[in-house]
Amino acid sequence: MPKIESVNKYELRLGMAGQDSRKAFFRKWHLPKLIPLSRFERLTRSRRWLLLSGMSLGFVLLLGVSHRLIAQFAQFESAAPSVPISAPSPIARVTSLSSSPSPRLAAPPAASPSPTAKRATTGKQQIEQAPEPTLTQEQQAAQQQAIAELEASIPTVDSLVEMKVAIEVNVSSATVGVSNEALLLDGDGNRLDTLSPGTSYTAQADGSSISFNGSALPSLIWIEPPVGSLFYLGDRPYRGRLLLAVENGRLWVVNVVSLRNYLYSVVASEVSANWNVEALKAQAVAARSYALTYYFEPVNTLYDLGDDEYFQVYSGTNREDDRIRQAVDATAGEFVSYRGEVVESLYAASDDIVKEAFQGQGMSQLGALGLAEQGYTYKQILANYYPNTSVGGIAQDF
C-alpha cells in the first residue's frame, strides 16, 4: 500500500507499506464517532485557508490496491512551479487572495505560426510523403473512442489515492444494483453472497444490523464490483466500491473511489466540458487540492466528504466526458501548494459569489474561463486566484 513517505517543498512522495488496509480501516472506525460537522463548523472552516500541517508519514494513502497494480506506475516527478511566487508569509496561512485578475499575470504568449509542410530530400531527389487515408465520421468517432479508452486504461498517480465519499447520509434505506456480477463482503472481507446484474437490492437499517433483501447482515458490508464495472444507487451509476454501514438505526452509503475517477465526475459536475482546456485544467487542480484537504482531515472516520455543493458536486459517471478526463489526467497529482502543504482551494461560479461566500478568497470559475480565453495557462490562472502559492505534485517512490 502506498503511504506518505516524505513531504518536500512542492511534492507529496509516496512509498510502500505492507499493512492490510481494509482491516486497518475497520479497526480505526468507531461508529459512535459518526457525527458530521455542523453547518456552523463547516461555514467557519470554509472562510479560511486550510493549510495542513503535521501530515502523518505513516498514513495509509490507498485502500485495497495490489502490489501488482502499483508496480505498473511510473514515477511521477513534480514539475517546478512555472509561475512567479512571492516570498512566503511568516504565518502558515494564505491571507491575501483576490477574486480579480492579478497584475502579476504576464501577457499571454503570442500564437506560434503553424508549421509549413516539408518534404524530405535525398540529394537532388524529393520524396513526397504519402497522404494519410481519409476516415469517415463514424471511423473518426470510433478511433477517438478507442484512444480515449486506451488513455483511461493507463493508470496515473491519482489512481493511488482513494476517496471515501458519502453519497447517502443518515437514511432508512437504499436501493442498489450492479452492472456485472459482484461480491457482497462483510467488514473483514469474508464473502457473504454474490450479486447479479439486473437485480435491485434493498438495504435497510434494522437496529444494529443491515437487512439486505430480507437477510440479516452485519452492520458493515461491502459491495465489490469487478474492475471496470459499475454499481448503482437507485438509477445513478458509480465507479469503485460501495460501503453500507448502520449506526443508531440509520444507514450510511459511502462510495470508495480512486481520486482519478472522483475528479472525472467532480470537474464535469462543476463546469462545462466545452470550456477552454486551460480553464478545465485549473478546475481539475483546484478540485484535487480541495479533495486532498478532506482526505487528510476527513469529516469523520467513515467518510472524507460529502457529494453535494456543500463540498463539491460528485454525481457518479453520468456527466463524465472525454475532454474532462483529458484535463484531469494532464494535471495528474497536481495540487495548490503553500510551503509544500495542501491548500483548501475554495472556488465558486463567479467573483460575486466568491466575495460573498469566501470573503474574496477563492477562484471564480467564470473568471478562470475568461482568463483562459485570453490565452493564460492554468498555472497562471491558479497563481492569480491563489496568490503566494505554487503547483505541487504527488510523486511515487518504489
Q: What is the pLDDT of residues 281-320, one digit of tens each?
A: 999 999 999 999 999 999 999 999 999 999 999 999 999 9
Q: What is the pLDDT of residues 312-354, one digit of tens each?
A: 999 999 999 999 999 999 999 999 999 889 999 999 999 999 9
β-pairing verdict for 120-122 and 125-127:
antiparallel
Lowest mean pLDDT among 75-79, 190-194, 354-358: 75-79
Looking at residues 389-394, what average pLDDT do you find?
A: 94
Domain spans of the chain? 2-19+35-102+262-296+314-396, 162-258
Task: Report whether pLDDT(398) > 80.
Answer: no
